[in-house]
Chains A and B, each alone.
Chain A
């Protein structure tokens, strides 16, 4: 069964801290995406990737870096976390052009 696994499930960090959110997919999908979900904003795209080593900028990239180390693994990096980055983060993967997204279960991040 196709799966997208995110870790950790919950994370608390201090302002200025360094955070890495992990995502692994076992779908053999080429595309992977990082979204943040906030009340009143829905899901907003941070970064995405077409494949290992490829990175594309999304709609709300400020303060975030991403790295796609393999086809399976996509990481989101917050090098100087701020309270405005407190959010629910979702990773998703997608296969060929006309297929649909498979989402992970999310990582809830609190920056205090």
Chain B
């Protein structure tokens, strides 16, 4: 059973558009939600993260919206650039269990110039 679900699996947007990536989770003990960005041939790298006490986190063109009641969050990439083309993973962890992260299957984003 997938504890962290992501959709869509792939997404194509034009340069300048807003890409919206969705994520949902099952475990109500999850309270930390990082998003990782991965380029081909590289390991994932932390992009932006949010804790469950917040409903929004913004970092430049990247914004996380978080709905604790519905156990859903989304990553918005505004003014998408071709350099944003990558795979994005939503992840979650709880304070216990060694803070191990549970990852979603990822969303592959392609930004066309």
Interface contact B106-A42, CB-CB below 8 Å:
yes
Residue in contact with A100 in the complex, picked from B34, B41, B100, CB distance below 8 Å:
B34
Q: Which residues of B contact A50 (CB under 8 A)?
A: 98
Residue in contact with B99 in the complex, picked from A31, A43, A104, CB distance below 8 Å:
A31
Cα A31 to Cα B101 in complex, Å, equals 12
| Dominant SS among interface residues on chain A | strand
Interface contact B89-A42, CB-CB below 8 Å:
yes
Q: If the complex has contacts A42-B89, A103-B43, are A97 and B99 also in contact, measured as CB distance less than 8 A?
A: yes
Give the contacts of B41-94 with A (CB-CB under 8 A): 41-46, 49, 89
Count, chain B residues at interface, CB 8 A: 21
Taking the nearest CB of chain A, how far is it from the CB of B38, in angstroms?
9
Q: Which residues of A contact B101 (CB under 8 A)?
A: 33, 45, 101
Known: A43-B103, A58-B100, A94-B99. 16 other contacts (CB 8 A): A4-B43, A31-B98, A33-B101, A35-B103, A41-B105, A42-B6, A42-B89, A43-B44, A43-B89, A45-B101, A48-B98, A56-B98, A59-B102, A92-B43, A101-B34, A106-B41
Is there a chain B Cβ closer than 8 Å to A44's Cβ?
A: yes
B contact set with A: CB distance below 8 Å: 4, 6, 34, 41-46, 49, 89, 95, 98-106
Interface contact A103-B105, CB-CB below 8 Å:
no
Cα A21 to Cα B4 in complex, Å, equals 27
